[in-house]
Amino acid sequence: MLLRCVLCSAEHPPTLRYACATCGGLLEVAGESGLASPAGALGMWRNASRLSVGDASAIVSMGEGETPLLRAGKVEAQLPGFRGEIWLKDETRNPSGSFKDRLVSAAISKAIELGARGVVCASSGNAGASVAAYAARAGMPALIVVPAATPDGKVTQIAAHGAVLLKVPGHYSRSYDLAMALAEHQGLANLTTTFLNPYGVDALKLVGAEITGQLGGRTPSHVLVPTGSGPLVKGVAQGFAQAESPPKLIAVQAEGCAPIVRAFEAGAAAVTAWGMPQTIASGISDPLIGYEGDGSYTLKLVRDSGGLAVAVSDDQLRDAMQTLAQREGLYAEPTGASPVAALKKLWAAGRLDARAVAVCMITGHGFKDVRVYQAMPARSHLVDDPDDLAAVARLCSSALEEQGRARG
Protein backbone atom coordinates (compact mmCIF):
# COMPACT_ATOMS: atom_id res chain seq x y z
CA MET A 1 0.00 0.00 0.00
CA LEU A 2 1.25 3.49 -0.86
CA LEU A 3 0.14 7.02 -1.71
CA ARG A 4 -0.16 8.00 -5.37
CA CYS A 5 -0.66 11.40 -6.97
CA VAL A 6 -3.88 11.66 -8.99
CA LEU A 7 -2.20 14.12 -11.38
CA CYS A 8 1.33 12.85 -12.11
CA SER A 9 1.07 9.29 -10.66
CA ALA A 10 4.17 9.82 -8.50
CA GLU A 11 4.27 7.33 -5.63
CA HIS A 12 5.04 8.05 -1.97
CA PRO A 13 5.28 5.95 1.19
CA PRO A 14 2.14 5.89 3.37
CA THR A 15 3.06 8.64 5.81
CA LEU A 16 1.28 11.76 7.09
CA ARG A 17 1.68 13.49 3.73
CA TYR A 18 -0.98 15.77 2.26
CA ALA A 19 0.29 16.63 -1.23
CA CYS A 20 2.50 15.17 -3.93
CA ALA A 21 6.18 16.05 -3.44
CA THR A 22 6.67 16.11 -7.21
CA CYS A 23 3.81 18.29 -8.47
CA GLY A 24 1.80 19.31 -5.41
CA GLY A 25 -1.22 17.30 -6.59
CA LEU A 26 -3.80 15.41 -4.58
CA LEU A 27 -2.86 12.05 -3.12
CA GLU A 28 -4.93 8.87 -3.00
CA VAL A 29 -4.37 5.53 -1.32
CA ALA A 30 -3.23 2.83 -3.73
CA GLY A 31 -3.76 -0.67 -2.40
CA GLU A 32 -5.40 -2.02 0.73
CA SER A 33 -4.18 -3.12 4.13
CA GLY A 34 -5.48 -6.70 4.01
CA LEU A 35 -6.10 -6.43 7.76
CA ALA A 36 -8.42 -9.10 9.09
CA SER A 37 -11.62 -7.65 10.49
CA PRO A 38 -11.15 -7.23 14.25
CA ALA A 39 -13.36 -9.32 16.52
CA GLY A 40 -16.62 -7.54 17.17
CA ALA A 41 -16.02 -4.93 14.45
CA LEU A 42 -19.06 -2.87 13.49
CA GLY A 43 -19.98 -0.80 10.46
CA MET A 44 -17.33 -0.15 7.86
CA TRP A 45 -14.60 -1.89 9.88
CA ARG A 46 -16.18 -5.23 9.02
CA ASN A 47 -14.32 -4.46 5.77
CA ALA A 48 -11.05 -3.51 7.48
CA SER A 49 -9.04 -5.37 4.82
CA ARG A 50 -10.15 -2.82 2.22
CA LEU A 51 -9.05 0.20 4.26
CA SER A 52 -5.63 1.68 4.93
CA VAL A 53 -5.03 0.78 8.58
CA GLY A 54 -2.75 -2.21 9.19
CA ASP A 55 -2.73 -2.23 13.00
CA ALA A 56 -6.04 -3.25 14.55
CA SER A 57 -5.07 -1.70 17.88
CA ALA A 58 -5.02 1.75 16.24
CA ILE A 59 -8.65 1.60 15.09
CA VAL A 60 -11.01 4.19 16.58
CA SER A 61 -14.58 3.29 15.75
CA MET A 62 -18.10 3.93 16.97
CA GLY A 63 -19.91 1.80 14.39
CA GLU A 64 -19.83 4.27 11.50
CA GLY A 65 -20.97 3.15 8.07
CA GLU A 66 -23.51 0.53 6.95
CA THR A 67 -26.23 3.19 7.08
CA PRO A 68 -29.79 2.49 5.86
CA LEU A 69 -30.92 2.86 2.26
CA LEU A 70 -34.59 3.88 2.26
CA ARG A 71 -37.05 3.89 -0.64
CA ALA A 72 -38.50 7.40 -1.03
CA GLY A 73 -41.96 6.74 -2.39
CA LYS A 74 -43.30 10.14 -1.31
CA VAL A 75 -40.48 11.91 -3.15
CA GLU A 76 -41.23 9.81 -6.23
CA ALA A 77 -44.87 10.89 -6.03
CA GLN A 78 -43.78 14.54 -6.28
CA LEU A 79 -42.26 13.87 -9.72
CA PRO A 80 -45.23 13.58 -12.13
CA GLY A 81 -44.67 10.80 -14.64
CA PHE A 82 -41.62 9.38 -12.90
CA ARG A 83 -41.54 5.57 -13.08
CA GLY A 84 -38.14 4.81 -11.62
CA GLU A 85 -36.84 4.53 -8.05
CA ILE A 86 -35.59 7.13 -5.58
CA TRP A 87 -33.52 5.95 -2.63
CA LEU A 88 -32.19 7.85 0.38
CA LYS A 89 -28.80 6.82 1.79
CA ASP A 90 -29.33 7.99 5.35
CA GLU A 91 -25.92 9.09 6.55
CA THR A 92 -27.52 10.93 9.47
CA ARG A 93 -27.38 7.58 11.28
CA ASN A 94 -23.61 7.82 11.72
CA PRO A 95 -22.42 8.36 15.32
CA SER A 96 -21.97 12.14 15.16
CA GLY A 97 -24.81 12.63 12.67
CA SER A 98 -23.00 12.95 9.35
CA PHE A 99 -21.09 11.00 6.71
CA LYS A 100 -17.88 12.65 7.95
CA ASP A 101 -17.57 9.88 10.55
CA ARG A 102 -16.50 7.49 7.81
CA LEU A 103 -13.54 9.69 6.84
CA VAL A 104 -12.60 10.64 10.37
CA SER A 105 -12.61 7.10 11.76
CA ALA A 106 -10.18 6.00 9.04
CA ALA A 107 -8.05 9.15 9.16
CA ILE A 108 -7.61 9.27 12.95
CA SER A 109 -6.92 5.54 13.10
CA LYS A 110 -4.18 5.89 10.48
CA ALA A 111 -2.80 8.94 12.30
CA ILE A 112 -2.52 6.90 15.50
CA GLU A 113 -0.86 4.06 13.60
CA LEU A 114 1.68 6.55 12.24
CA GLY A 115 2.45 7.94 15.70
CA ALA A 116 0.42 11.16 15.81
CA ARG A 117 -0.21 12.57 19.27
CA GLY A 118 -2.83 15.14 18.36
CA VAL A 119 -5.08 16.26 15.50
CA VAL A 120 -6.33 19.43 13.85
CA CYS A 121 -9.27 19.91 11.50
CA ALA A 122 -10.69 22.81 9.52
CA SER A 123 -14.43 22.43 9.25
CA SER A 124 -17.71 24.07 8.33
CA GLY A 125 -19.11 22.12 11.27
CA ASN A 126 -19.77 18.44 10.61
CA ALA A 127 -16.16 17.33 10.23
CA GLY A 128 -15.22 19.30 13.33
CA ALA A 129 -17.94 17.60 15.35
CA SER A 130 -16.77 14.23 14.08
CA VAL A 131 -13.09 14.85 14.80
CA ALA A 132 -13.93 16.19 18.26
CA ALA A 133 -15.94 13.05 19.03
CA TYR A 134 -13.40 10.55 17.71
CA ALA A 135 -10.48 12.39 19.33
CA ALA A 136 -12.33 12.23 22.65
CA ARG A 137 -12.80 8.49 22.22
CA ALA A 138 -9.14 8.07 21.30
CA GLY A 139 -7.96 10.24 24.21
CA MET A 140 -6.18 12.61 21.81
CA PRO A 141 -5.99 16.42 21.93
CA ALA A 142 -7.86 18.10 19.08
CA LEU A 143 -7.89 21.59 17.56
CA ILE A 144 -10.98 22.46 15.50
CA VAL A 145 -10.98 25.56 13.27
CA VAL A 146 -14.34 26.80 12.00
CA PRO A 147 -15.80 29.93 10.38
CA ALA A 148 -17.25 32.24 13.02
CA ALA A 149 -20.68 31.97 11.36
CA THR A 150 -20.85 28.17 11.79
CA PRO A 151 -24.36 27.13 12.97
CA ASP A 152 -24.73 26.95 16.74
CA GLY A 153 -25.78 23.31 16.66
CA LYS A 154 -22.47 22.28 15.11
CA VAL A 155 -20.39 24.54 17.38
CA THR A 156 -22.19 23.22 20.45
CA GLN A 157 -21.51 19.64 19.40
CA ILE A 158 -17.80 20.36 18.90
CA ALA A 159 -17.52 22.09 22.26
CA ALA A 160 -19.40 19.30 24.04
CA HIS A 161 -16.65 16.83 23.13
CA GLY A 162 -14.02 19.06 24.74
CA ALA A 163 -12.02 20.02 21.66
CA VAL A 164 -10.15 23.33 21.50
CA LEU A 165 -12.35 25.42 19.21
CA LEU A 166 -11.03 28.31 17.12
CA LYS A 167 -13.56 30.57 15.35
CA VAL A 168 -12.22 32.47 12.35
CA PRO A 169 -13.99 35.44 10.72
CA GLY A 170 -14.93 34.99 7.06
CA HIS A 171 -15.34 31.97 4.82
CA TYR A 172 -14.24 28.35 5.24
CA SER A 173 -11.06 28.70 3.17
CA ARG A 174 -9.58 30.95 5.87
CA SER A 175 -10.15 28.21 8.43
CA TYR A 176 -8.56 25.72 6.02
CA ASP A 177 -5.39 27.85 5.74
CA LEU A 178 -5.08 28.26 9.51
CA ALA A 179 -5.50 24.53 10.11
CA MET A 180 -2.76 23.83 7.57
CA ALA A 181 -0.40 26.21 9.35
CA LEU A 182 -1.25 24.83 12.79
CA ALA A 183 -0.73 21.24 11.69
CA GLU A 184 2.83 22.07 10.70
CA HIS A 185 3.58 24.42 13.59
CA GLN A 186 2.12 22.20 16.32
CA GLY A 187 3.09 18.85 14.81
CA LEU A 188 -0.51 17.66 14.52
CA ALA A 189 -2.10 15.23 12.07
CA ASN A 190 -4.39 17.16 9.73
CA LEU A 191 -7.83 15.52 9.53
CA THR A 192 -9.46 18.22 7.40
CA THR A 193 -12.01 16.37 5.28
CA THR A 194 -11.45 17.91 1.87
CA PHE A 195 -9.11 15.84 -0.31
CA LEU A 196 -6.31 16.70 2.07
CA ASN A 197 -6.19 13.46 4.06
CA PRO A 198 -6.02 10.53 1.61
CA TYR A 199 -6.70 7.90 4.27
CA GLY A 200 -10.02 9.49 5.15
CA VAL A 201 -11.10 9.92 1.54
CA ASP A 202 -10.21 6.30 0.81
CA ALA A 203 -12.76 5.06 3.36
CA LEU A 204 -15.60 6.61 1.36
CA LYS A 205 -15.25 3.96 -1.36
CA LEU A 206 -17.17 1.55 0.87
CA VAL A 207 -20.34 3.58 0.25
CA GLY A 208 -20.57 2.03 -3.22
CA ALA A 209 -20.42 -1.54 -1.94
CA GLU A 210 -23.05 -0.76 0.69
CA ILE A 211 -25.46 0.70 -1.86
CA THR A 212 -24.97 -2.21 -4.26
CA GLY A 213 -25.63 -4.72 -1.51
CA GLN A 214 -28.69 -2.83 -0.31
CA LEU A 215 -30.06 -2.75 -3.86
CA GLY A 216 -29.76 -6.51 -4.13
CA GLY A 217 -26.65 -6.41 -6.31
CA ARG A 218 -27.94 -3.68 -8.63
CA THR A 219 -26.06 -0.50 -9.49
CA PRO A 220 -28.02 2.77 -9.40
CA SER A 221 -28.15 4.89 -12.54
CA HIS A 222 -27.47 8.13 -10.64
CA VAL A 223 -25.99 9.13 -7.29
CA LEU A 224 -26.62 12.69 -6.10
CA VAL A 225 -23.93 14.03 -3.77
CA PRO A 226 -23.80 17.27 -1.73
CA THR A 227 -20.51 18.79 -2.83
CA GLY A 228 -18.11 21.28 -1.28
CA SER A 229 -14.65 20.25 -2.48
CA GLY A 230 -15.87 16.79 -3.46
CA PRO A 231 -14.29 13.87 -1.52
CA LEU A 232 -17.64 12.05 -1.33
CA VAL A 233 -17.93 12.32 -5.12
CA LYS A 234 -14.58 10.55 -5.38
CA GLY A 235 -15.60 7.95 -2.82
CA VAL A 236 -18.76 7.10 -4.73
CA ALA A 237 -16.86 7.00 -8.04
CA GLN A 238 -14.21 4.72 -6.59
CA GLY A 239 -16.78 2.51 -4.91
CA PHE A 240 -18.52 1.81 -8.22
CA ALA A 241 -15.39 1.75 -10.39
CA GLN A 242 -15.66 -1.99 -11.05
CA ALA A 243 -19.37 -1.95 -11.85
CA GLU A 244 -20.38 -2.95 -15.35
CA SER A 245 -22.25 0.33 -15.73
CA PRO A 246 -21.18 2.82 -13.03
CA PRO A 247 -23.70 5.46 -11.99
CA LYS A 248 -23.73 9.01 -13.27
CA LEU A 249 -22.48 11.32 -10.53
CA ILE A 250 -24.44 14.47 -9.82
CA ALA A 251 -22.51 17.01 -7.77
CA VAL A 252 -24.96 19.25 -5.92
CA GLN A 253 -23.99 22.72 -4.76
CA ALA A 254 -25.83 25.75 -3.41
CA GLU A 255 -26.44 28.67 -5.75
CA GLY A 256 -24.72 30.91 -3.19
CA CYS A 257 -21.48 28.90 -3.41
CA ALA A 258 -21.17 26.92 -6.62
CA PRO A 259 -17.64 27.05 -8.07
CA ILE A 260 -17.83 23.53 -9.52
CA VAL A 261 -21.25 24.11 -11.10
CA ARG A 262 -20.04 27.36 -12.61
CA ALA A 263 -17.10 25.60 -14.27
CA PHE A 264 -19.31 22.72 -15.43
CA GLU A 265 -21.85 25.02 -17.06
CA ALA A 266 -19.09 27.05 -18.71
CA GLY A 267 -17.45 23.94 -20.15
CA ALA A 268 -14.24 24.81 -18.31
CA ALA A 269 -11.66 22.21 -17.35
CA ALA A 270 -10.51 24.09 -14.24
CA VAL A 271 -12.53 25.41 -11.32
CA THR A 272 -11.93 28.95 -10.09
CA ALA A 273 -12.54 30.04 -6.52
CA TRP A 274 -15.83 31.54 -5.39
CA GLY A 275 -16.26 34.72 -3.38
CA MET A 276 -18.00 34.95 -0.03
CA PRO A 277 -20.66 32.20 0.21
CA GLN A 278 -24.29 33.23 0.66
CA THR A 279 -26.37 30.15 1.47
CA ILE A 280 -28.12 28.34 4.30
CA ALA A 281 -26.24 25.16 3.31
CA SER A 282 -23.19 25.65 5.53
CA GLY A 283 -21.89 22.14 4.88
CA ILE A 284 -21.18 22.86 1.20
CA SER A 285 -20.29 26.55 1.45
CA ASP A 286 -16.66 26.00 0.45
CA PRO A 287 -15.30 28.68 -1.93
CA LEU A 288 -12.13 26.59 -2.63
CA ILE A 289 -9.84 29.59 -2.29
CA GLY A 290 -6.26 28.36 -2.49
CA TYR A 291 -7.12 24.75 -3.31
CA GLU A 292 -9.12 25.12 -6.50
CA GLY A 293 -7.51 21.90 -7.74
CA ASP A 294 -9.84 19.95 -5.45
CA GLY A 295 -12.81 21.32 -7.37
CA SER A 296 -11.18 20.69 -10.75
CA TYR A 297 -10.57 17.05 -9.81
CA THR A 298 -14.18 16.65 -8.69
CA LEU A 299 -15.34 18.25 -11.93
CA LYS A 300 -13.34 15.70 -13.90
CA LEU A 301 -14.84 12.81 -11.92
CA VAL A 302 -18.34 14.10 -12.62
CA ARG A 303 -17.70 14.48 -16.35
CA ASP A 304 -15.97 11.10 -16.61
CA SER A 305 -19.09 9.48 -15.15
CA GLY A 306 -21.37 11.14 -17.69
CA GLY A 307 -22.98 13.08 -14.87
CA LEU A 308 -23.42 16.75 -14.16
CA ALA A 309 -23.16 19.50 -11.56
CA VAL A 310 -26.24 21.41 -10.46
CA ALA A 311 -26.87 24.30 -8.05
CA VAL A 312 -30.01 24.74 -5.96
CA SER A 313 -31.46 27.83 -4.31
CA ASP A 314 -32.07 28.28 -0.60
CA ASP A 315 -35.83 28.13 -1.23
CA GLN A 316 -35.38 24.81 -3.04
CA LEU A 317 -33.34 23.58 -0.09
CA ARG A 318 -36.09 24.54 2.37
CA ASP A 319 -38.69 22.77 0.24
CA ALA A 320 -36.53 19.62 0.14
CA MET A 321 -36.03 19.74 3.91
CA GLN A 322 -39.78 19.87 4.43
CA THR A 323 -40.34 17.05 1.95
CA LEU A 324 -37.87 14.82 3.78
CA ALA A 325 -39.10 15.72 7.26
CA GLN A 326 -42.87 15.74 6.65
CA ARG A 327 -43.21 13.04 4.00
CA GLU A 328 -40.27 10.66 4.51
CA GLY A 329 -39.57 11.14 8.22
CA LEU A 330 -35.94 12.19 7.75
CA TYR A 331 -34.64 15.22 9.63
CA ALA A 332 -31.84 16.60 7.45
CA GLU A 333 -29.84 19.81 7.55
CA PRO A 334 -29.90 21.99 4.40
CA THR A 335 -26.79 20.36 2.95
CA GLY A 336 -28.17 16.88 3.60
CA ALA A 337 -31.41 17.76 1.81
CA SER A 338 -29.67 19.26 -1.23
CA PRO A 339 -29.79 16.07 -3.38
CA VAL A 340 -33.60 15.99 -3.10
CA ALA A 341 -33.73 19.65 -4.09
CA ALA A 342 -31.51 18.87 -7.09
CA LEU A 343 -33.62 15.84 -8.02
CA LYS A 344 -36.77 17.97 -8.20
CA LYS A 345 -34.96 20.63 -10.23
CA LEU A 346 -33.53 18.14 -12.71
CA TRP A 347 -36.90 16.41 -13.17
CA ALA A 348 -38.68 19.71 -13.78
CA ALA A 349 -36.04 20.59 -16.40
CA GLY A 350 -36.35 17.21 -18.16
CA ARG A 351 -32.78 16.22 -17.26
CA LEU A 352 -33.57 12.97 -15.44
CA ASP A 353 -34.65 9.75 -17.11
CA ALA A 354 -38.17 8.63 -16.17
CA ARG A 355 -36.87 5.17 -15.20
CA ALA A 356 -33.80 6.32 -13.30
CA VAL A 357 -32.71 4.50 -10.15
CA ALA A 358 -31.32 7.43 -8.19
CA VAL A 359 -29.65 7.45 -4.78
CA CYS A 360 -29.61 10.68 -2.78
CA MET A 361 -26.82 10.96 -0.22
CA ILE A 362 -28.47 12.51 2.87
CA THR A 363 -25.24 13.57 4.50
CA GLY A 364 -26.11 15.45 7.70
CA HIS A 365 -28.72 15.42 10.48
CA GLY A 366 -31.19 18.25 11.07
CA PHE A 367 -29.97 18.87 14.60
CA LYS A 368 -26.84 20.31 13.00
CA ASP A 369 -28.72 23.47 11.95
CA VAL A 370 -32.07 23.80 13.70
CA ARG A 371 -32.40 27.51 13.00
CA VAL A 372 -33.55 26.85 9.44
CA TYR A 373 -36.38 24.64 10.69
CA GLN A 374 -37.24 27.11 13.45
CA ALA A 375 -37.94 29.74 10.82
CA MET A 376 -40.43 27.48 9.02
CA PRO A 377 -44.18 27.47 9.74
CA ALA A 378 -45.15 24.89 12.36
CA ARG A 379 -48.49 23.22 13.15
CA SER A 380 -48.41 24.50 16.69
CA HIS A 381 -51.47 25.62 18.65
CA LEU A 382 -51.87 27.17 22.08
CA VAL A 383 -54.42 25.31 24.20
CA ASP A 384 -56.07 27.91 26.43
CA ASP A 385 -58.09 25.46 28.50
CA PRO A 386 -56.92 21.81 28.46
CA ASP A 387 -60.00 20.87 30.51
CA ASP A 388 -62.31 21.87 27.64
CA LEU A 389 -61.90 18.59 25.76
CA ALA A 390 -64.61 19.38 23.22
CA ALA A 391 -62.86 22.57 22.13
CA VAL A 392 -59.47 20.83 21.97
CA ALA A 393 -60.99 17.99 19.96
CA ARG A 394 -62.47 20.44 17.44
CA LEU A 395 -59.06 22.09 17.10
CA CYS A 396 -57.36 18.72 16.58
CA SER A 397 -59.91 17.55 14.02
CA SER A 398 -59.45 20.68 11.95
CA ALA A 399 -55.66 20.51 12.23
CA LEU A 400 -55.55 16.82 11.29
CA GLU A 401 -57.75 17.38 8.26
CA GLU A 402 -55.43 20.16 7.12
CA GLN A 403 -52.43 17.93 7.64
CA GLY A 404 -54.07 15.11 5.68
CA ARG A 405 -54.74 17.42 2.72
CA ALA A 406 -51.14 18.63 2.79
CA ARG A 407 -49.80 15.07 2.67
CA GLY A 408 -52.16 14.02 -0.07
C-alpha radius of gyration, the chain, whole number: 21
Whether 156 maps to a domain, the answer reads yes
Give residue 384's pLDDT.
87
281 and 174 in one domain? Answer: no
Of the chain, the percentage scoring pLDDT greater than 70 comes to 100
**Alpha carbon distance 355, 292 (integer Å):** 35
247-297 confidence digits (pLDDT tens): 999 999 999 999 999 999 999 999 999 999 999 999 999 999 999 999 999
105 and 172 in one domain? Answer: yes
Residues 6+ apart with CB under 8 A from 323: 74, 75, 78, 337, 340
167 and 133 in one domain? Answer: yes
Whether 396 maps to a domain, the answer reads no
Residues 6+ apart with CB under 8 A from 199: 29, 52, 53, 106, 107, 109, 110, 111
Structure confidence at residue 405 as a pLDDT band (50, 70, 90): confident
Residues 6+ apart with CB under 8 A from 230: 195, 251, 260, 294, 295, 297, 298, 301
Give residue 260's pLDDT.
98
Structure confidence at residue 406 as a pLDDT band (50, 70, 90): confident
110 and 245 in one domain? Answer: no
> 273 vs 195, 197, 294, 295, CA distance in Å?
16, 21, 11, 9
Is the pLDDT reported for residue 399 higher than 90? no
Whether 76 maps to a domain, the answer reads yes
Question: Of the residues 200, 218, 234, which one is the last residue of a structural domain?
Answer: 200
What is the helix (H) or strand (E) element at residue 397, kind and residue range? helix 389-407
User: What is the rounded average pLDDT of the residues 391-405?
Assistant: 85
Give residue 381's pLDDT.
83
Are the C-beta atoms of 266 and 299 separated by less than 8 Å? no
Whether 362 maps to a domain, the answer reads yes
Is the pLDDT reported for residue 25 higher than 80? yes
Q: Round the average pLDDT of the chain to a whole number and report it.
A: 95
Whether 404 maps to a domain, the answer reads no
Give residue 291's pLDDT.
94
- 3-state DSSP assignment of residue 274: coil
366 and 335 in one domain? Answer: yes
Give residue 328's pLDDT.
97
Is the pLDDT reported for residue 408 higher than 90? no
User: What is the rounded average pLDDT of the residues 339-343?
Assistant: 98
88 and 141 in one domain? Answer: no
Give residue 27's pLDDT.
97
Beta bridge pairs of residue 257: 254
State the sign of the Cα–Cα–Cα–Cα dihedral 116, 180, 204, 13. Answer: negative
Whether 382 maps to a domain, the answer reads no
Give residue 398's pLDDT.
86
Show the domain range for 46. Answer: 2-61+100-200
State the sign of the Cα–Cα–Cα–Cα dihedral 388, 394, 399, 401. Answer: positive
Question: Of the residues 200, 221, 255, which one is the last residue of a structural domain?
Answer: 200
69-102 confidence digits (pLDDT tens): 999 999 999 999 999 999 999 999 999 999 999 9
Whether 176 maps to a domain, the answer reads yes
Is the pLDDT reported for residue 403 higher than 80? no
Identify the CATH number of the domain in which residue 232 sits: 3.40.50.1100
209 and 130 in one domain? Answer: no
234 and 91 in one domain? Answer: yes
**Alpha carbon distance 125, 145 (integer Å):** 9
110 and 172 in one domain? Answer: yes
Give residue 323's pLDDT.
97
Total domain count, the chain: 2
85 and 132 in one domain? Answer: no
- 3-state DSSP assignment of residue 348: helix
Beta bridge pairs of residue 190: 120
Give residue 142's pLDDT.
96
Total residue count of the chain as it appears in this document: 408
Question: Of the residues 153, 172, 200, which one is the last residue of a structural domain?
Answer: 200
Give residue 108's pLDDT.
98
Are the C-beta atoms of 289 and 273 separated by less than 8 Å? yes
373-393 confidence digits (pLDDT tens): 888 887 788 888 989 999 889
157 and 89 in one domain? Answer: no
197-211, 347-361, 390-404: which range is least confident on average? Answer: 390-404
Whether 383 maps to a domain, the answer reads no
Is the pLDDT reported for residue 68 higher than 80? yes
**Alpha carbon distance 127, 119 (integer Å):** 12
Structure confidence at residue 124 as a pLDDT band (50, 70, 90): confident
211 and 195 in one domain? Answer: no
Give residue 402's pLDDT.
82
